[in-house]
Structure 1
Amino acid sequence: MKRSLLIIAFLVFQWGSAQIEDALVFFADKENVAASIANPITILTQDAIDRKQLHGTVIDARDVPVNENYITQLKNTPGITVYAKSKWMNAVYVRGTQTTIENLLSLSFVTQVEFMNKNLNFAPAASGPNDKFAFETQQGRTIYNYGAATNQVEMLAADYLHEQDLTGDGMVIAVLDSGFPNVTSNPAFAEIISEGRLLGTYDFAERQVNVDGTGSHGALTFSDIGGFLLNEFVGTAPEASFYLFRTEYAPTENPVEEAWWVEALERADSLGVDVVNTSLGYQDFDDPSYDHTYQDLDGETTIAARGANHAFDKGMLLVTSAGNDGNGFTFVATPGDAIGILTVGAVDEDGNYASFSSIGPTVDGRVKPDVMAQGRDAAVVSQNGNVTTASGTSFSSPIMAGAVACLWQARPELRNDQVMQIVRESADLYNNPTPQMGYGIPNFEEAYNAALLLGAEEFFLEQQFAVYPNPVVDLLNVSFPKNISGATLELYNVLGEKVLSKEISKTDNYVNLSHFASGMYIATIRSGDAGNAFKIIKK
């Protein structure tokens, strides 16, 4: 009997050690880092370099590709399959047995292994993961007349941006999703195709250009940004340019999809993408030992959250769906928990919280979702070009992403964090956020006005003279614009009579008005062709 138990124990050990696992394998270094940074066109497109220069985004070692020699050595290791790579994390996503993966640590260039199974001895639960697209694929079949997308656009006042000729022209948006069937033949995307605004496609799961993928989820989300059918449907950024990246393999649920997603972000960054829409979320997997707990969703732990934060740091603006777990897991899934991402929940056509929409806060107490858009009965265009409806945060996210791109078009020199904060502050619950609604529904007319004013005071002070305090009791001070060191100040009373003239400079920048009578005066300040006039109130 004792010998039998030993045999059974040995077999259990053998089974456990032979079970296939997934992991991130981190590398120690990269090749030619200094030379690549000194000559960034060798690793980035000119569009990417221009965007980074515009926003003051540093080009650093994260932009340098992973060492392909290291990847080749892993691929040649028996029992190891490489599925994805990340230059930002200097890592690859692999699959193999626990022992085979751990043996990679013996390689001089491997510094760390991170298993997706957080506890390899944890007994898997009996139930499998939910189909995260099941709810959203229950589409309505109503045939809409002109304005099918009117409600979801006007709810955000995105139509106001369009009236300002801000339709996404010149902005580049990447859509990361599960599949985009018929994208080149769908009439909703005919103008994008004919005008050359579909800049590229790639399937990171199958390693091919074709992005038909599995399912039509991507075609639906793409339509809410770029779709256009005359008199029937208009997306929120109909004049933008696009990359379509398939990162989701719908038949299974595995953390490798997070790794593919990060890889797509890196590709997007290298191509100069401005805005990324992601209508995907990850929390439970086919292997429950890989599941993310609420404690994992702190904005910087999961593969997706880490990738999102790198993307944010690199200057892109990421928009993602909060998830449809309001009646299940409850909380926003990753990458929606990431610090550097704008997470969007769903409301109905009247602006009321949709019960399926995942809620916050994150485990570390941050407000999530950030903002809301229509996600219940949202208008979409199907893969066959028919206007229909669908429900889910997957649709509130692209509706928001298109509006964000149009807003950024107005002030492209603003940083991604500035644009995100402007959007948050325009929302109706900004001063009283809730777990269900976050900061609420943005108003892009208000956001547009705030964007125009952002930095205006600093710009004015750099380009124009200014006076302070006003009203004044005794000393009236003058602020000089850049590149001007001296000027003449003249003061006139209400009769137009000159009562004071003084040469001023940056070091002698005031006049004493203490002996003047109370009342209104006009001050002029001139230096060559530059000058300003001010109404002065003397107390």
Structure 2
Amino acid sequence: LSYQSPPASPCVSPPLRKGSCKQREDKIFKNSEQVISVEVSKIFIRMTLTFCILLLTISVATSAQFNPNDVCKVTLITGDTVNVLNCSGKRLYVVNATVEREFQVLKTPGGTYIIPVNVDLGKFDLELFNVDYLIDEGYYKLNHIPVLISLNKRVSKIGVLSEIKSIKGLSISKIFSKINTISAKIKKGCDVFTSLKHDSTIKKVWLDKKFHVSLSESARIINASALWKLGYNGSRIKIAILDTGIDSTHPDLDDLDDDPSTNDSKVIVAIDFTDDGSVMDFNGHGTHVASIAAGTGEASNYTYVGIAPKAYLWNVKVLNREGWGYESWIIKGIEFAAYGPDGYPNTGDEADILSLSLGGEPTDGDDPLSQAVNEAVEAGRVVIVAAGNEGEYFSISTPGAADRAITVGATDKNDDLAYFSSKGPTLDFRIKPDVLAPGVGIVAARATNTEIGTPIDEYYTSASGTSMATPHVAGGAALLLQKGVPSGWLRQTYVKDVLVSTAKDLNLNVYEQGGGRVDLLKALSTDILVDPAVINFNLNDKSSAVIRFFNLNSTYKVLNLTVELTDIFGNPSNAVHINDTTLIIPPNSSSSVLLAINVSEIKKNIYSGKIKIKVNNSKELKVIFGFSRLNKVTINKMKMDGGPAAGEYILIFNNSWYWISSTNESGTAVAYVPDGYYNVWSGGKYGESWVWTIKENVPIFNDTLITLDERETVPIHFDVGKPNQIIAALYTGLSYNKYNLTYISWTYISEYPENTTTYITPANCKVYHSYEFYPQEYYNPLNDSYIDASEWYHVFFSEDGVSSPIYYTVNYSKLANRTSYYFSFVPENVFKAEWSSDGNATQLITFGWVI
């Protein structure tokens, strides 16, 4: 048996600085219909065999074939590599560690995470260890790992840059001017991780993720065509399209007024932040989006006219010809559009509106891209972002999760919510999307030689998505700014409030529709400004809010207010009130109301609320609000000596929710969950022994304290049953399967364990143990990862629950015996043989290649 040994690192890091920044990241996942599959396990470095007799407690089934050419080598930020067999099919993961360490594997619907034990997931982005994502997005092909490094707010970028630059194997790509973040490349094979781990100036290291591209009737639906008749067409407003580029030769986009006698380009700025080396749109997505926002419609004889046909366009290319772009490219594009070439706000060289029809994964809005969006809004820009196309609750993608963005979901032309439109709340329970706009079957410009969507003719194509809904709102914002900014009627900071408060209510909850489908005629004609139109109580951290109403008219306005509150399933609640239901507001004056929630009357759930306002018994406005009243679960974990168990993973789950985090220095983790019964698992170590602490079927209907105490566990012992045997591997794990709705397994694996005793809290879940061992005479003291043995033992034990200590002893008379011979077709070749020990009896044989 031979392990694959990793090469020595070609890089040497400088001496480490003292101090570290401990942060925690809590992940909450919601899944109501499909099966949740979570699998957490330790990886035992795979062994390649030359010859062996394998003794098993189960039978071996037929051979499974793997393509030797379908292998991907993934390098983690820790320097460890994962060789993935059968990349394009059912994957097998083989870990090669740079040092002796243990790993955990977490399998979720979002990917397979292979995480070295004791990595601080508060400081290192979980996606850095998402092996499936790193393969699917092609990161494994690079000679470096692209990252974003967020610095603590209390430090200066300039002050730490020289020290970061001195880290061998790390090169800085970009220093962002408006967020305390830099982008960098980590050369594979270099020990950069250790330096980053101990650098106290670094708040978090993120994977520089890739983001993807996520009209005649639609302009009429949102009442844009009615505004054209009033003279509002986006004139002199600058819309930056951050996308795959713009085909500025398209007839709808080549000229501002379609007058060949004038020289007035529509696309007045073009810049490329991608690896294409050209501002041209080779994909087609950006051109389609740009023409929805501001196309002139010339090629269709003015049938497919954009929402703001007289607006200028900025071509800020942040996605390449394949339709993706690194997060760092997009942040560069945001800063360029929001601050202009001179890098300073409000000097006149910046765009007015930024439109981003792109998205990544759901976040809580704390990621660097969301923060860049918030900074752009702070600088006075209006930023419109697609909500995403996942269609589920909790699926708002970044940067749509940014608090200050106007996040847009999609409707069809019948004002029904598009099936793919992502719903809120965000991962920190805020309302998103903010509004909806048409996004199904949108006909708009087709870039030269592209095939995006369903082509209509040479110049137009039809496409669907929140990508298409977003530029409807960007163009609409241009119409609002055209009227509002010169007259003083509307500042950029109020665009979101106006769009939300005047949107058409589609009678959906606020996490589906926000304020509703945008109505530009109503938005432009409103003379009541609402501040704010969106109120987030989040996790019920406050129970009241003040809403102000500004009367911009020269006559008195009478506002009649009603408030309604339902949970996310539509069940009504009376635990909300406003202190005044009628307001009489004098001309050019304001008035306010107090919105209050009676927390004691609220059951645990996620809530959607609306204040409906009738102005002079005719025009309707609205304010939307939302909050989540969940149970706060505090988990305290104690070690065998009674001290706090710091840095250990916690899993809390039932059939519809699961949550993963790790304990802080005090041995504490906090989760927020709905009412229900939950299981809590945690794994840890007592010396060299693995320890499972468990609480089962815990009723959680109020704030709850759960204690996991390793001193309450019982031992599980193992005896090989004969002398002079060396235990090469120990597997210990838990599994849970409830009504075939939820399957969860968590496994640890140790190489050459010093102690085979494990400990577990008495519980009813399935517990399994597996041991591999061989005769001591075959031990190789020079390299114990290379063993030439003529026999190898593999025994497996399983229990449907544990109530007292267990003593396992191998009964050799009950072991199956299999002798296998393997022949190579070349003089010296490595191959792999694997048998299962988990009840899924499969045999894997591969020849002719080295893992």
Is the CA contact (8 Å cut-off) linking 1:105 and 1:111 kept in structure 2? no
One-letter amino acid of the counterpart of residue 170, structure 1:
R
1:321 aligns to 2:386 (yes or no): yes
Give the TM-score of the pair, scaled to structure 1.
0.62
Give the TM-score of the pair, scaled to structure 2.
0.40
* 1:202 maps to which of 271, 282, 305: 271
Deviations 1:316-338 (A, max 9, x none): 111111111116x8612111111
Distance (Å, rounded) in 2 between the aligned partners of 1:368 and 1:480: 33
Aligned to 2:217: 151
Is the CA contact (8 Å cut-off) linking 1:174 and 1:245 kept in structure 2? yes
Is the CA contact (8 Å cut-off) linking 1:312 and 1:318 kept in structure 2? yes
Distance (Å, rounded) in 2 between the aligned partners of 1:379 and 1:202: 26
Aligned to 2:329: 260
Deviation at 1:162, TM superposition (A): 1.4
Shift of the 159–250 alpha-carbon distance from structure 1 to 2, 3 Å rule, reads same
Deviation at 1:306, TM superposition (A): 1.0
One-letter amino acid of the counterpart of residue 203, structure 1:
D
Aligned to 2:498: 422
* 1:270 maps to which of 336, 339, 342: 339
Distance (Å, rounded) in 1 between the aligned partners of 2:504 and 2:512: 13
Deviations 1:99-151 (A, max 9, x none): 326536899xx931622259xxxxxxxxxx99955xx7xxxxxxxxxxxx221
Alignment of 1:99-498 (within 5 A): 99-100=191-192, 102-103=194-195, 111-112=201-202, 114-116=204-206, 133=213, 149-180=215-246, 183-192=247-256, 194-206=263-275, 210-212=278-280, 214-228=282-296, 229=298, 230-249=301-320, 251=322, 257-271=326-340, 272-283=350-361, 294=362, 297-299=363-365, 301-326=366-391, 331-384=395-448, 386-412=459-485, 413=488, 414-429=490-505, 433-450=509-526, 457=551
* Larger mean Cα displacement after TM superposition, 90-99 or 307-316: 90-99
Distance (Å, rounded) in 1 between the aligned partners of 2:272 and 2:165: 20
What percent identity do the matched residue pairs reach? Answer: 23
Report how many residues are paired: 386
One-letter amino acid of the counterpart of residue 289, structure 2:
T
Shift of the 377–72 alpha-carbon distance from structure 1 to 2, 3 Å rule, reads farther
Which one has the largest radius of gyration? Answer: 2
Is the CA contact (8 Å cut-off) linking 2:383 and 2:405 kept in structure 1? yes
Distance (Å, rounded) in 1 between the aligned partners of 2:193 and 2:434: 38
Shift of the 239–257 alpha-carbon distance from structure 1 to 2, 3 Å rule, reads same
Aligned to 2:177: 87
Shift of the 27–347 alpha-carbon distance from structure 1 to 2, 3 Å rule, reads closer
One-letter amino acid of the counterpart of residue 100, structure 1:
V
Distance (Å, rounded) in 1 between the aligned partners of 2:425 and 2:399: 14
Distance (Å, rounded) in 2 between the aligned partners of 1:351 and 1:459: 31
Distance (Å, rounded) in 1 between the aligned partners of 2:323 and 2:443: 28
Is the CA contact (8 Å cut-off) linking 1:305 and 1:335 kept in structure 2? yes
Is the CA contact (8 Å cut-off) linking 1:21 and 1:115 kept in structure 2? no
Deviation at 1:81, TM superposition (A): 3.8
* Larger mean Cα displacement after TM superposition, 87-96 or 16-25: 16-25
One-letter amino acid of the counterpart of residue 116, structure 1:
W
Deviation at 1:369, TM superposition (A): 1.4
Shift of the 117–205 alpha-carbon distance from structure 1 to 2, 3 Å rule, reads closer
SS at 2:149's partner residue?
A: strand
Calculate the aligned-residue CA RMSD, in Å: 4.1
Deviations 1:177-198 (A, max 9, x none): 1233xx2321111213941342
SS at 1:323's partner residue?
A: coil
Shift of the 251–387 alpha-carbon distance from structure 1 to 2, 3 Å rule, reads closer
Is the CA contact (8 Å cut-off) linking 2:254 and 2:265 kept in structure 1? no
Deviations 1:254-303 (A, max 9, x none): xx7222212211111222211110000001xxxxxxxxxx5xx222x122
